Amino acid sequence: MALATWWRGDFLPTLPPLTNFHVQKIQQTGLLAALCRLDGREIHRRRQQGHRPYVAIWQGSPVAYGWVATQRADIGELGLDFRLPPQHRYLWDFATLPAYRGQGIYPRLLQEILVQEASAAAYFWIIRAPENGASGAGIHKAGFTAVGHLSLLANGRTALAVTGNRERAKVGAGLLGVPLAADGISPCWHCGGADYPAAASAAACSCRPAYLEEMADCACVSGSGRPHPVYQPALA
């Protein structure tokens, strides 16, 4: 999983305006439950734990959503649970409704969240699975910079391999409570890079989570059906 960050004062790319587009924090539980496909109890639990829901409105209709953690957060796929200091925010659980994808909604939603939260926070963090290229493109367009790759060491522990600014990667690793990788880590954040037979395919990959069925090939399987080489941490 790629870890990206934006810090207050970083460059914020100018995106072409969308007519009648705005982003707001939504209070209506019913609307959030329908949009996020969650029940009211989960919406209430998230709010009680300091998570803020933001919704993108375009032409009068809700078209996308995302959550901002302000106190604690977790990355369930990697078994991480971490506390957020007051100046830090973790952005998670974003989605654009299918009919509105490809319109640039996601990067605009991210930027609006940065603008609205930046008066109280200085450091923003977000991750995405390597299979989700569209998410990566949107995060980059919004102004975030990738600093590391989260995955598993040979001993099964989660670690962060530096792929960008090393000092920011250190801050991110400290926030998440994981070490910086001194050696290579698995390219697959889910299975740890187990060996697959040459005939393996994305569809047959036993580690492939169900929610990735409509995405690109699993990160642990290359086009030839053989495991990718491990990621190596940056030296500088």
d(CA 65, CA 138): 14
Res 188: pLDDT: 62
- Average pLDDT for residues 190-217, to the nearest whole number? 44
78-91: pLDDT as tens digits: 889 999 999 999 99
Q: Is the pLDDT of residue 20 over 70?
A: yes
> CATH for 2-183, among 3.40.1180.10, 3.40.50.300, 3.40.50.2300, 3.40.630.30?
3.40.630.30
Q: Is the pLDDT of residue 198 over 60?
A: no
25-67: pLDDT as tens digits: 998 999 999 999 999 999 999 999 999 999 999 999 999 999 9
d(CA 68, CA 46): 10
Res 55: pLDDT: 98
* Cα–Cα separations (whole angstroms), residue 123 to 5, 48, 89, 196, 236: 7, 22, 6, 39, 22
Q: Is the pLDDT of residue 235 over 50?
A: no
Contact of 181 with 175, CB cutoff 8 Å:
no
Res 219: pLDDT: 47
Question: What average pLDDT is seen over the chain?
Answer: 83
Vertex 121: Cα angle to 117 and 122 (nearest 5):
115
Longest Cα–Cα distance of the chain, Å, equals 53
d(CA 7, CA 143): 10
What pTM does this model have? 0.81
The single residue listed with the structure tokens 């790629």 is: 2
Q: Is the pLDDT of residue 183 over 90?
A: no
- Average pLDDT for residues 198-206, to the nearest whole number? 41
Res 133: pLDDT: 87
d(CA 58, CA 127): 25
Res 91: pLDDT: 98
148, β-bridge pairs: 3, 162
Q: Is the pLDDT of residue 21 over 90?
A: yes
67-122: pLDDT as tens digits: 999 999 999 888 899 999 999 999 999 999 999 999 999 999 999 999 999 999 99
Residue type, 221: V
Res 154: pLDDT: 76
What's the 3-state SS for the chain?
Answer: CEEEEEECCCCCCCCCCCCCEEEEECCCHHHHHHHHCCCHHHHHHHHHCCEEEEEEEECCEEEEEEEEECCEEEEHHHCEEEECCCCEEEEEEEEECHHHCCCCHHHHHHHHHHHHHCCCCCEEEEEECCCCHHHHHHHHHHCCEEEEEEEECCCCCEEEEECCCHHHHHHHHHHHCCCECCCCECCCCCCCCCCCCCCCCCCCCCCCCHHHCCCCCCCCCCCCCCCCCCECCCCC
* Cα–Cα separations (whole angstroms), residue 128 to 49, 86, 134: 22, 23, 10
